[in-house]
């Protein structure tokens, strides 16, 4: 049994990560799940949240915030197709709170359901990010 698996995180712009890892915790739409070597094949949509990447079982996790996407586990490893990722280091809590307030106003002022749905999607990842940095 291998103690690592291949991980690729891909965004629309570029390959973000290509590494051998011991475990990855993914914020799945139905709850967080851990992908490990020899994991059964599966696919899951990803909700806004933190992906934790463990290069070693006993090590500390590298943490990336993802706005959403898709995860596929196969015998070759884990591939994450991310809408967008953000570094947690560069988040300004005050600026984020203001952006959330502005987005809530945009939702109230939306001209139609399509515009409202777009604003609500943006608000969802912003509030998830706010919860992560507050913890």
pTM above 0.75, yes or no: yes
Secondary-structure class of domain 5-87 per CATH: mainly beta
DSSP secondary-structure letter at 105?
H
Q: pLDDT truncated to tens, each residue of the chain (135 aa)?
A: 458 999 999 998 899 999 999 999 999 999 999 999 988 999 999 999 999 999 987 788 999 999 999 999 998 899 999 998 988 888 899 999 999 999 999 999 999 999 999 999 999 999 999 999 987
Residue 82 CB coordination number (10 Å): 21
The phi-psi region of residue 69 (left if phi > 0; otherwise alpha if psi is between -120 and 50; otherwise beta) is left
Instruction: Specify the residue for token string 């809530």.
Output: 104
Q: Could you state, in order of their start, the residue ranges of all structural domains in the chain?
A: 5-87, 92-134
């Amino acid at each position: 049994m291998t103690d690592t698996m291949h991980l690729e995180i891909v965004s629309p712009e570029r390959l973000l990560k290509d590494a051998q890892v011991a475990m990855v915790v993914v914020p799945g739409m139905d709850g967080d799940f851990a992908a490990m070597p020899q994991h059964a094949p599966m696919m899951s949509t990803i909700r806004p949240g933190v992906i934790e990447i463990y290069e070693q079982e006993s090590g500390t996790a590298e943490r990336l915030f993802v706005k959403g996407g898709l995860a596929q586990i196969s015998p070759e490893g884990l591939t994450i197709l991310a809408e967008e990722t953000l570094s947690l280091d560069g988040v300004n809590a005050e600026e984020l709170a203001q952006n959330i307030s502005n987005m809530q106003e945009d939702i109230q002022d939306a001209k139609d359901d399509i515009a409202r749905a777009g604003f609500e999607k943006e608000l969802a990842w912003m509030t998830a990010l706010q919860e992560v940095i507050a913890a």
